[in-house]
Chains A and B, each alone.
Chain A
Amino acid sequence: MAAGSDRELNKATVRVLQVLSNFASDVEGFGVTELSQLLGMTKNMTYRALTTLVEQRYLSRDADSSRYQLGYRILELQNPHAIEPDLRTLCAPFIRRIHLLTGESVTLCVRAMDYCVLIDGVETRRPGVWRVRIGDVLPMFALAAGRVMLAFGGDEALVDYIGRNRPLRHPRTGEQVSVDELKGQVALIRERGYARVKRASTMVSAGFPIWDLEGHLHGAISVGGPAERFEAQLDEQLPELLEIMDELNSRTRLFSANAAGSELN
């Protein structure tokens, strides 16, 4: 069966599902105007989609504020045999979107002890490739994703990390980062909310945190490529990249980073 084309899909129903999907986030509820702006639909289209969803009882309308919220009938849409989404499943569509936007390599990393483990990603098809090897284990200080995880892991953990790992020398490239440089980067990342790293004047990458419901990190996503090609492009695309990450985080904030093996998912 071929993937759905515009001809085969019922556009009005697609809009209904798009509106409903927007409620899969940590946001309590939405008004018509807010949703129509978010989804790029007219207010009339949005209102009709919302009305259909209220009729079906997948949404309910707050009588006081005219805002819409999830309805209890959502609970019917579950299957005991279904596998719960893990971090890779949650991030996959967003990794694709970042790759489509930038055309560059995108990686998903989690922390294991003092290292970044690359658990998913897309490699660019352009000449001059930032390599994506699933399963790679890399020092945290060397990567944008790793620096994000260090920045948001707390001061004490950062000091402990530096104590255990100095001198901060990349085992493969020999590249060294001074403690002051790393601390300066961490301060900047905390201020901006993301990391931007330029390595050896040849490679530029940006790293973004993936938050959980308790303010801990699930991991980080980074996108990078040759500086000559990607540096200016990154400046231009940063607002859109941050919007994509906001959307991803509104979903990952529904889950606990401690969930693996210890909490119900």
Chain B
Amino acid sequence: MTSSSTSAASRRAVSGPVRGRRSSGGLLQAWLPRLVLAPSVAVSLFFVYGFMIWTFVLSLTSSRMLPSYDFVGFGQYARLMANERWWVAASNLAVFGGLFVAICLVLGAVLAILLDQRIRQEGALRTLYLYPMALSFIVTGVVWKWLLNPGLGIQAMVRGWGFDDFAFDWLVRSDMAVYTLVIAAVWQASGFVMALFLAGLRGIDDAILKAAQLDGASLPRIYWRVIMPCLRPVVFSAVMILSHIAIKSFDLVVALTGGGPGYASDLPATFMYAHAFTRAQIGLGSASAMLMLGGVLAILVPYLFSELRSRRHD
């Protein structure tokens, strides 16, 4: 509610001498927002959608080293479906993506709640949990490759302390290599999720908390029943950012496991790269890229749907 003096002040601050500006400027003003957005829209249409369409076109060709327009229908998709490595990569993405998002959410939420308890060193701890996000995935992959290497890293160290039977050789086991990706990725991104949750916690209206406290609810109950539901938008944002990281995960795989042992820890992004570039199979790589984008759409569309729906409720 603005008092008359405030509105007068704002008037003066913004528009200078009060005078009707509804002449020719009016039409321009109406179109200005669209003009401002136009370049970005154009850029988006060309560089994002245009390139996606181009990729789709390429997935229908027999392009090898460089693009060619020799069309073969859906042959590349057929080859993709018959490719065992693709299925390994796709299922790895489900495992990796699912675990990565879930663990980051839980860990981030827990850390945020703990940090929110008026800790003395909150600033320092927060920076500590957040800094891994500053590192590139290549650096993360290289360091964790060391740490998880049975002969050089944690296993060797613990054995050096006398625990001869200690085993932590996931990195070299075909069935466990994917989980090493989860470890490194969670280390990198959970701090960011924590920051999101912390911000969300700080933004909760205390009237709600006070009401709950007056009702005599216990601490865990307050968190579970009152605070977590308020954080639903935060969870959504976190899930969006995390899934985007998961789908794009390329540098981490290359640096940490190289897709191995064999191709046991391959992901669609590295599959696409290996085939499109290293193996000069742009057609097949494009087909895998389209499927990858399809997966992205599958996550994005429901989110947008709920986003737009909640907007209307505001």
Answer yes or no: do A and B interact.
no
Interfacial residues, chain A to chain B (CB-CB below 8 A): none
